[in-house]
Structure 1
Amino acid sequence: MTETASRARNRRGEGGRLREEIVAAAVELLAETGDERALTLRSIARRAGIAAPSIYPHFPDQPAIMLAVVGTAFAELTEILRAAAAEADSPRARLEAICRTYLAYAQSHPERYRTMFGGLWVPTLESGSVTEEDLAALGKECMGLVAAALAECAAAGVSASTDPAADAVALWLGLHGLAHQRAVTRAFPWPPGIEDRVITALGGLD
């Protein structure tokens, strides 16, 4: 929907649907432009087929919409990682599946991944629409999946980790660094098996 007049009015009690449509419109714009700066209240409203003031009952400002966009992306990534883990048949296979799926997500959704980790959108607390609790919650479930898989590997004796919670953060930092550098340094001659090296070393795998 690109014209304000083309969108039918929600029936009473369907305000939640409009909120979802606003977020979906913002996600579409991000995917098309690859630029967080393109996500203005006016452009998002135009894509959703509504007048800009119709956004305010659902989001007080643009940062609140961006927080919802990022939250939606993390929820999507969490489900993808959970599905990958469910298909694995051993602790080590589960950890490796989670890590490889994470890297694949970053490669297939570069603009979304960049936004998730503070690309041009740098969340601030000044407006009051984004809180420290909001920011702390982002990615918490994803990290929990990594930590749980690493703890399972340690319990099974296939990882040398003695502090899975802390080592999961180190492993994520390695994955994130590789994902980021792949995106910004396309001509770098990556050695064969670089993913294996990162996962094996930082996961403390035998």
Structure 2
Amino acid sequence: MKRPGSVRAPGAARAAAARTHNRRGEGGRLREEIIDAAAELLDETGEPHAVTLRSVARRVGIATPSIYPHFPDRPAIVLAVVQREFAGLESSLGAAVERAGGDPRQRLLAICATYLDFAGCHPRRYRTMFGGLWVPPPGDSSLTETDLVVLGASCLLMLIDALGDCVAAGAATSTDVSADATALWAGLHGLAHQRLVSPSFLWPENVPERVIGSLAHLTAV
């Protein structure tokens, strides 16, 4: 019995035939190509549902069943894209902290600015990372609750640590660092989202500073 999506056009069939077998050690490369293709589809369409087994296979140039050794279903592919994007965001935040130097306030501000820049530079991937529209009902895919709960956890921890450093240095007056860092993330996310969906709105230049200063309980400079 054929798996769904196994029928393909002759051109796709020829491309797939050329890639039917990976040489030893090339399976990891094909997995990355599948993720790349899914990310490209997201960039082009902005719709997680545009990422299907058939559309990804067509772009990579493989037979649809060739995806199954690497991903059991469509949500697993989108999850891999989202995981890679969060890893990229975490790396960018870490680099921003390093550039900011030893001042805790500047490190926190660098994290926040980098977060907003990431959302602005990668709007469609950002919406997929935080939109949740691609997540199927529980039990309808290979995804587990753990797969979803840990998404972005490392990035939030960086924000918590940065705010904690500000409190220790007397640069913030938060009495519940974890809760206030979570509120700060929610504020940043809301601002990032509204910037994406309201591009014609004339945002005052100091809105990010107002959001960060208020939610992080920063002290006056």
Where on the TM-score scale, by shorter chain, does this alignment land: which range?
over 0.9
CA distance in 2, matches of 1:123, 1:79: 28
- Which residue of 1 is the match for residue 60 of structure 2? 48
CA distance in 1, matches of 2:139, 2:209: 42
d(CA) in 1 for partners of 2:21, 2:155: 36
> Hey, what does 2:16 align to over in structure 1?
4
Using the alignment, how far apart are the partners of 2:46 and 2:218 within structure 1? 36
Segment of structure 1 superposing worse, 34-43 or 103-112: 34-43
Counterpart of 1:147 in structure 2: which amino acid? I
Asked if the contact 1:4–1:49 (Cα under 8 Å) also holds between the matched residues in 2, the reply is yes
What is the SS of the residue equivalent to 2:173? coil
CA contact (8 A) 1:63 1:129 kept: yes
Query: 2:36 aligned with 1:24, yes or no?
Result: yes
Deviation for aligned residue 1:73: 0.8
Q: Does 1:148 align with 2:161?
A: yes
2:144 alignment counterpart = 131
| Pairing 1:38-77 to 2, within 5 Å after superposition | 38-77=50-89
TM-score, reference length from structure 2: 0.88
Asked if 2 retains the 8 angstrom alpha-carbon contact of 1:124 and 1:130, the reply is no
Q: Is the 8 A contact 2:57 2:64 kept in 1?
A: yes
Alignment of 1:54-203 (within 5 A): 54-89=66-101, 90-118=103-131, 120-203=133-216
CA distance in 2, matches of 1:123, 1:195: 33
- Structure 2: 5+ residue stretches without partners: 1-11
How big is the shift at 1:8? 7.5
Structure 1 residues 32 and 142, CA gap change in structure 2 (3 angstroms): same
Distance 1:124 1:71 in 2: 19
Structure 1 residue 37, shift from structure 2 partner: 2.0
Give distance in 2, aligned partners of 1:38 and 1:86.
37
Paired-residue identity, %: 60
Moved over 3 A (4+): 5-9
Shift of 1:7: 4.2
Aligned pairs, number:
205
Q: Report the TM-score when normalising by structure 1.
A: 0.94
Q: Specify the SS of the correspondent of 2:131.
A: coil
Output the amino acid matched with 1:27: A
CA contact (8 A) 1:159 1:203 kept: yes
**CA deviation after TM superposition for structure 1 residue 82, in Å:** 0.6
TM-aligned CA deviation for residue 119 of structure 1: 5.3
Q: Distance in 1 between matches of 2:49 and 2:65?
A: 20
Paired residues of 2:75 and 2:135 also in contact (CA < 8 A): no
The alpha carbon displacement at 1:121 in A equals 1.7
Residues 41, 62 of structure 1: 8 Å contact kept: yes
CA distance in 2, matches of 1:179, 1:34: 16
The 1:146/1:17 distance shift into structure 2, 3 A limit, reads same
